[in-house]
Amino acid sequence: MKRLSPLALSTLAASLLLGGCAGLFPPGADEMAKLPVVRYGQPAPAGGEYVLHYPAGAPLPVVASVDGTLLEKAGRASFDVAVKRDVYVYRNWVSFDGKRWASGDDLVTGDFRVTLPGEADGKAPGALAARFDLRP
């Protein structure tokens, strides 16, 4: 096995460290300008990266389902939701104008909840719920 010189080791360590830190800072405008923007519902470019755009007010379909080997009868429901404002998503980054980007965790908070039928009082229906709020 060949040994690396101290210079090669330090260069490798710096590359790994800087590569890991790249995800900590929002992408630059020049970097984002190179990526195609795909409106939800349109096909994404084959094999490439892209920004996904959820237009304000546009119907966004959601499917909720419950199934499994424990159940005799499975269930499924489909419905549409819509965002109040344009939302652009690239990896873990979010933007409301396609120009200024921030970590999704800094802009949006979410909550998922599952309640079993009868869990609250012996007779209430079960619930699958998701909530998404803008952070103040």
- Taking the complete model, does pTM exceed 0.95, yes or no? no
Domain count, the chain: 1
In a domain, 89, yes or no: yes
Q: What percent of the chain has pLDDT over 90?
A: 72
Instruction: Identify the domain containing residue 83 by its residue range.
Output: 25-107
CB atoms within 10 A of CB 96: 16
Question: Is 95 inside a domain boundary?
Answer: yes
Specify the pLDDT at position 23.
61
Q: Is residue 77 part of a domain?
A: yes
Q: Let me know if residue 54 belongs to a domain.
A: yes
Considering the domain boundaries, does residue 115 fall inside one?
no
Torsion of CA 14, 32, 93, 108, to 10 degrees: 150
